[in-house]
Each structure stands twice: as structure tokens, then as C-alpha cells.
Structure 1
């Protein structure tokens, strides 16, 4: 703890890295149980990804009220303005949480964890920050999410572009004016779709560089009536919805239909699909027939309906081919769908163009624009909506060292492996929320992180009661979980798609399932079973 004459390194029971929803709920729970907790956030404010997400059109794709902390103390006097709130609303919400929970008492901003090393002799984590400060902690909990390492493709000549260059993950906080500008938008993932429909009407020209068409779903956005929401809170509707999120596959308030596709007639299927589309959101995926993601013929029926809804919104035959091809690039639902409100109408305009980079690869970025074999498109602005090295990239980029001296990245160099998506062997007393091999990408974020946080709370209380100072995942438990993750994955149609779900969006990255596809309920059951069975799957000391 420091030799004679050296400053004593401060100690906390738990250090949490990151100040998003998972960190807030865990810190609040542990403090109520009299744990000494500190939260370090490298940014200047709370909100996690919503501190950084401020590109045009950025908003959640989980509807109110489930994209928040499931805590009456917080929601009783806060109501979101829209069904799907935008980034400014999330920031307003986090300010509300800060005030309610007095988070200034335990959160420090501009604290970038540079290294974290487990010291076996003292059974403590030694943490050093880029500002030179140091800390000892019994428990180390990175809550850095699955999308904190953005990806910029190595386009030839990108550094030579003389116009304005932006990445959606590093957007200027003061915003950008696109009125009358010629804009190139690279990428049609969730952020690309949101940006396109937001700026498409104000720019002079918009050229979208698309690798794979996004099979967008209808958002069905509307403003919330404060009086209606107040009544729902009084009547217990919010609590009922939050309880439902604990019982469903993906932590939403709805779940998969128990019927198979061809149990219904053509007319019945069409009526069923139309009902899902009318409600909007992720219902066409999560409320679909139960065989949609396992039976190719059933999946084809869902895609055909989707395509029939899109084609009338796009007049241009070439844009129809690019946005809603007759033969899909991948099974419906096996890549991340974006929710949209007017994307297809915006893209159908004459001043908006789409270039398929499979047919016309991006050859170079010149000082004045982007060149493909179709020619040079001169632009004033380039927007990279090229996503993240998701799931593993966030933790692997940190210099976290366990008992073998290797980093998390070293631990994964021969393949992704975790113990139930929350811990790693050789990294004692370290737990992470919303990470790889958990239901992360296939669950409502607040549902997943809050249920994980409840388990961590119980674990730490149980360890304190049992006088356990060292808690580590067993190697065989990790291997068993990895096998189960793969078994569940290959029962579905997901392996037929190239997506961030497998890391194939990052050139050279190993292709493997990144997330648990077996559902949030089953996942939490496994976690609690490990504690109920006398720490089954864990080394304790």
C-alpha cells in the first residue's frame, strides 16, 4: 500500500469505469448497501454513449418508458417528450439522475483509466489514470459498453481531403450546418440512416455509399402527452411494463409470437405482419413468428412483406434495386435494423444518390471528393457512419492486466471467451456489464444492464457476508459458456449474415458470435444459478 515516505494510495471497495446507465444503477445500489464506490468517466459529463452521440438525428430505438432506469424515484417526476427520445432528451434525463442521486459525491469526470493491474499479494486492483492519479480497489467494474471504440476504414487518401470530415461517433458538440452543402455519407447502419433522413432535405447534394442495404423498420414516432404519462405512472403502468421487461426474450415489453409462420394462412399472415408494422419499433422482429430466425422459408415470408411495404415509397427503379433488392443480401433480422421515420422518402429525392460499394468500390479519397469506377464525386463534407469495433473492442482497447500479466486483448487473441458474459479467468474481482457473450446486442440496453447490476449487487453482498476477498471465474466454466454461445448461435440464421454481431464489419477481425442469442431470461437464470449453487463456476478465497 506504499512504502514509508510515499503517499498512501486511496482505496475504494468498488471502482466503476464509465458513467452510463449500467454504472449509475450499479453505483446507486452498492452505495445503498454501504459499499465505498467511485465512478471514473473519461468524458466531461455522464450519459455513456449519449455523451458522445450528438450527430444529426441521433436517438434511441427503444421506446419510452423502457429506455431509462427502472426506478420510481427517478421516473415519478421525469417524462420524456417523445416515444423515441433524441440525444438531447437523454442528456436532460442524466442531469435529472445526477441531481436526484447526488452523483457528484462519487463520480469524477475527465478521469481516463490508463492501466488497471490486479495485485495478487494484496488482492486489490491498482488503477492509474492518465492524469497521474492512482487508486486501489477490491472490485474493478468496467461499464464501457459495447460501442466505445469507433471504426474508421483505411480509405486511401482520406487524410488528403480538404473539406470537412466527421465521424458520427466523434461529432462536434456544437453541431454542424449542412445547408446548401454537397455531402458524402459513408455507411448505412443505424447512425447512417438517422443522419441521412435528418440532413437529406437541407443539403445541396447527398451521395450515400452503401455496402449493404439496411432493412429499416418503421419507428412510428409521436410526442408523449405529459398528462397521459402521469396517469400511467399513478396507475402502475410503468411498473407493469418494467416487470414485463424482466420476463421477455430481449427485455422489451413484448415477445415472440408462439405460432410458426405457416400455421397461418396467407391472409392471416398478411394481417399479422401488418399489425406488427402498424405498431412499429422492433415488433416486426421481436414480436414475429417464432420460426422466423430459424426457418429460411419462414424468414423469406417476412422479407417479402417488408419489401412490399418499402417499394411504394421509392419511385426510382435503380434505388428500389439498391434499397430493397428482390433477393436479400442476408436473412431478414440477422443484421442490425434501423428504425426510420422518412428515410425512404428522403433518399428517393433527385438530389440524393446511392452508390453500391460492392459494385463500385471506393478507390480513393481525393482532396475534393470520393472516387469510384463511376467517377469522382466532389463534395464539401464527408461523414463516416462506419460504426464501431463493437462488443470486444471496448474492453480490449484498455490496458487491463490480470494475474498472468496479459491484457484482456491478449486473453481474446485466440478467440472470444468469457464466463457468462460478465467475467474472465485470470482477472479476479473484475466484472463487466453490457459486454461480449451477454445478450447485449439482442436486448434493450437498460433492461440488460440493470438486471446484470442487480446480480452484481447480490454477488458483492454475498461475498462480503462470506468474507470472500478474491472472486474469479473458472477456466472450465468459461469453456462451457463459450460452447453454449456457439451452440445457440448456429441454431439460427444469424451465421448467414456478415455483421457486427460476428465482427465481420472490421477487416481482419476473427469471425465468431459476439453475443448470447439465448435470451435475457435464460441468461439471468444461469447467472443466479451460479450463486445459488455455492459459487458454481467460480474460484473463491
Structure 2
């Protein structure tokens, strides 16, 4: 295992923070890209198993999305105690202050993780990967960063996550705008909404980020205009403080609770609801829904009967309940009609529900306008603001682009990763995504993806699923090492079978009826297809471990037998 001083290079791998270029390439067993939940856990587990491992992180510290997304109001929507690592050495001496921690608190959590697990000694920060190439003659990857650091590895793990590459819609004359243009992933001052104080602000978007930004900026701005294409069906977060005493007592069951999460579909410790919406009479159903609603978070959909994803009428009933709870919070009739319409704007659950605290009260304020982009699209930007199709030009000091990500695939297509065929992921996936098990790609021997496409990624609580997937990958690498397998590569027929199974499962649901980032539909030109495995964490692990046992669907190359 490598080590470093605070100001030195890591075993010959330049620490990007210091910008020391030209060092000799460092050879390691495993090179990890990305220091979010997936990369940090991969480093921790691989070091345990004796693999010489190093990690390149483009940012200045651990945290992944919690280092990049520092917009006002940023917070996780999976609740504590479920949203954290399961290792007792981490949770024993850490307490969160809220049920749904803020981005700032999660930054502090990653500092605790680093100090507890001693991760930074094997990480190069400010190390943006610029070039990755596979050499078939040596069966090794060479990874180069913009700062000149180079690593050669047998195995490459891309722990680059689902939400890295920001999406900028191609608005006409965007470059002419003279005000401050901010994408939510690049907020200039961490979680500080005060830069909008007394300003004329626009927010473009209606997803989770836009909801969280709206809640904070509406309280600061002189005037806020929110541009919404499709109204969000946001659920109540019911945020609350967590006391040290409560967590100290509950830690007696943390290990069992977090282990139980791994055996669920979503990675949340909610009791599953078997059967159908129609198993209950109206009064029983209403009582159940009131109880789930009062719990807050994702209880209303994740702990409910799940047939709303396949039965349109069941979804319409859930929407009617949601609207009954939500519409009275919006006093302005025009806003209420748009934000909480009589008919659902899309089938319930086919877009990711945002969690909100006072979104509807904030957007109802007199200093907030809402623009329906389907009725009045953005025509172009001007030097001073935004012009819509009705010819109206609204002036803005600040425009916030809460326009999301090239989700699931963008972090991989954004890197210049060339496999044994010399093809990058951008070219490889130009006509759609192909993977085997949502972890491996043909043309890319010994490369593994964490929290990427065609895995349960977006339908799960991140840390729980990440631990499951990384544990599978670690067991793959242990098997390859013990059986003297030099390289392993996914076969195209196995990828086609995996992809088809995902699309077939998707076609049995209402998900294809809605344009969403689940389907890749938020990025023009991206193939519209289901990008997530729908069977849940437990079933995914069963399928992966079956493949691990037999190595079915892989081409393997074994090393020469030792003399």
C-alpha cells in the first residue's frame, strides 16, 4: 500500500494538489477514478484485500457530488440512518445533526471518513483524468492526468457516479448574456444564497436541485422567476433535528439495520408493502396513505404498494391524494392550477420525486413568478435577461441553470477512455448503452463501473447499493487473482442479453410513457432507453454473484501456470 507525506508525491504518483509533473509512472494493481462514496469504499475494501491501490480525484477533496454540488439548500433526500457507510468504525464516532443532512454536513462527514479510514494517503487530488488507454500486450491500463501524473494498473475502476457532467441546454444567444450565469454544480460560494440577496434571479428547472434552490433563493431575492417545463410532484421531507442521545441509543441496531437495507429493492429500511392498491377498501387505503404521508421522505411511494408503476389508475389515485394534500398550500390560483393541476402532469413515480420542506409556500410568494415553458418557451437570451416566445423580456442579474446532468453515462463518455479496440465510451455508446451486469463493457478488459448505467443506480439509496456493487467487484478481483486470470472482458452477446432484459422489464411499467433522465430523455440526441436495472438491489446481487461463480458472459485470459 502506498503512502505519502502531506506535501509529497504518492509512491511516484504526483499529488495533483502540488502539480508536480513528469514523475515516473506508478504501477498499481488497481487504479480508481473518483473519490465519492463509490471510490472511497472501493479504496477501503481493496486495501483490506491486499491490492496495491491508488485513486485519482479531479476535485480538491473527498465527497464526489458533495464536493461539486454546493448550491443553496443542497441536501440529501435519503434519510439518516440509511444514508451513510455501514462500517462501524465510521458510524460509531459520527452523529448527524438532521434527518436529511445538508451538503455542508456531508462534506464534514467525508472528512471524518478520511480521518477514520486514512484514505488520503492513497489519493491524488486535483488529478483530472485526461487519457486512458488499454495495452493488450501487457493487459494493463495507462491512466494520465492533466497535471502529468501517470499510473499503470491491471484493473481500472470508474467510480465516477451518475451525476457528474452538467447539462447545458442549447439556448439561443446564451453567450450574449452579461449577467451572472451559474450552473447549480458550480455555485461560486458554498451553499451561500446571499449572493442573490436583493437581486433579480431566474431558476431554470423543476427537479430536485431547482426545488432546493427555490426554497432558499425565494427568501433572499428581490424577485425570482422559476422557468418550469413540467411541474414537480414533490413529497414532504419532514425534516427534523437528530439528537446525539437518539443516535447513541439507536446505534445498538445500526449494523442489523444497514444489513437489512441491502436485502431491499431500494436500499431504504422501509417495510415493503406486499400486494396491490386494490387489496384495500377506500377507508383502509386512506388510513394507510395518511400514515405513510405523515412519515415523510420517500415513505409515500417506497413503502406503499408498488403497482402504481404498472397500473395507471392506481397512480392516478395516488396523485389525487398528493394533490389534496398539496394544493391548499398554494394560495395563488394561477400558480396552483399549474403546479398542482387537476390531472397528473405525468404518471405517478415515472419521474423522480423531489423532497421539499417549504417549496410550495416559497413559490407562492408575491416576489416569485412561474413561467410555463410548454406554453411559453425560452426563445433566446439577451444581454440583460431572457426572452420568451410571447416576446416578453425579463431582466435578470443572475440566472441559475438547475438543468441537471448527462446522467448515468456522462461521467464515462466525458473521459477519453480507449479500450483494446481504440474506441471511447462516447463512440461505443453513441447508439445506446451496452454493459454486462451494469459493471463491465466489451472492448474494455479489466474495467469495472461503480454506480453507473444498467445497474439499480438511480432507483436506490446510494451508499447501500454502492457497498453491494463494490463488494461484488472486489470478489471478482479476488477470484481473478486466485485463479491466475490475467484479463476478463464482457462479451457482446451477454451485453445484448442484459440490455434486453432491462428494456423488457421497463416495457412492463409506465416508465416509458414519461420523458425523464431515467430514460436519457433530458439530453437532446441521447438514445431514449431505460438506463437503470429495475429489479432492485437484492435481485441484482443474485444475478451478479451467479455470473461471478461461473464467469458466464466473459472472455477470460489466464496467465501461464507457475513453475
Same fold by TM-score greater than 0.5: yes
2:271 and 2:431 map into 1 onto residues whose CA distance is 36
Provide TM-score, normalisation by structure 2: 0.93
* 1:221 is aligned to 2:239: yes
8 Å contact from structure 1 (residues 347, 353) kept in 2: yes
Q: Tell me, what secondary structure is at the counterpart of 2:258?
A: helix
Residue in 1 aligned with 2:134?
118
Displacement of 1:207 = 0.6
1:469 and 1:56 map into 2 onto residues whose CA distance is 48
* 1:425 is aligned to 2:442: yes
Provide TM-score, normalisation by structure 1: 0.97
Q: Tell me, what secondary structure is at the counterpart of 1:479?
A: helix
Displacement of 1:484 = 0.6
Residue in 1 aligned with 2:223?
205
Question: How many residues are aligned here?
Answer: 533
Displacement of 1:256 = 3.7
2:263 and 2:49 map into 1 onto residues whose CA distance is 26
Displacement of 1:7 = 8.1
Q: Which residues of 2 match residues 60-139 of structure 1 at below 5 A?
A: 60-139=76-155
Q: Which residues of 2 match residues 132-171 of structure 1 at below 5 A?
A: 132-171=148-187
8 Å contact from structure 1 (residues 249, 255) kept in 2: no
1:385 and 1:290 map into 2 onto residues whose CA distance is 29
Residue in 2 aligned with 1:249?
265
Q: Which residues of 2 match residues 82-481 of structure 1 at below 5 A?
A: 82-174=98-190, 175=192, 176-233=194-251, 235=252, 237-374=253-390, 375-481=392-498
Displacement of 1:352 = 0.8
Residue in 1 aligned with 2:561?
none
* 1:513 is aligned to 2:534: no
1:537 and 1:527 map into 2 onto residues whose CA distance is 11
Residue in 2 aligned with 1:27?
43
Q: Tell me, what secondary structure is at the counterpart of 2:374?
A: coil
Q: Tell me, what secondary structure is at the counterpart of 1:207?
A: strand
Q: Tell me, what secondary structure is at the counterpart of 2:449?
A: coil
Displacement of 1:104 = 2.3
Displacement of 1:116 = 0.8
1:71 and 1:294 map into 2 onto residues whose CA distance is 37
Q: Tell me, what secondary structure is at the counterpart of 1:462?
A: helix
Q: Tell me, what secondary structure is at the counterpart of 2:533?
A: coil
Displacement of 1:240 = 2.1
8 Å contact from structure 1 (residues 429, 470) kept in 2: yes
1:488 and 1:77 map into 2 onto residues whose CA distance is 42
2:471 and 2:94 map into 1 onto residues whose CA distance is 23
1:472 and 1:30 map into 2 onto residues whose CA distance is 20
Displacement of 1:41 = 0.3
Displacement of 1:413 = 1.6
8 Å contact from structure 1 (residues 503, 509) kept in 2: yes
8 Å contact from structure 1 (residues 256, 290) kept in 2: no
Residue in 2 aligned with 1:3?
none
- In structure 2, the CA distance between the partners of 1:427 and 1:255, relative to structure 1 (3 Å rule), is farther
Q: Which runs of 4+ in 1 moved over 6 A?
A: none
* Residue deviations 1:352-392 (CA, integer Å, cap 9, x gap): 11000100011111111111134111121111100001011
8 Å contact from structure 1 (residues 181, 203) kept in 2: yes
Residue in 1 aligned with 2:511?
494
2:245 and 2:235 map into 1 onto residues whose CA distance is 29
1:417 and 1:373 map into 2 onto residues whose CA distance is 39
1:173 and 1:470 map into 2 onto residues whose CA distance is 45
8 Å contact from structure 1 (residues 163, 382) kept in 2: yes
Match of 2:56 among 25, 34, 40: 40
1:199 and 1:383 map into 2 onto residues whose CA distance is 10
1:9 and 1:268 map into 2 onto residues whose CA distance is 66
1:421 and 1:491 map into 2 onto residues whose CA distance is 20
* Residue deviations 1:420-468 (CA, integer Å, cap 9, x gap): 1001011000001000000011000111111001111111111111111
Residue in 1 aligned with 2:18?
none
Q: Tell me, what secondary structure is at the counterpart of 1:292?
A: helix
1:245 and 1:76 map into 2 onto residues whose CA distance is 18
Residue in 2 aligned with 1:485?
502
* Residue deviations 1:399-429 (CA, integer Å, cap 9, x gap): 1011111011221122211101001011000
Displacement of 1:255 = 4.7
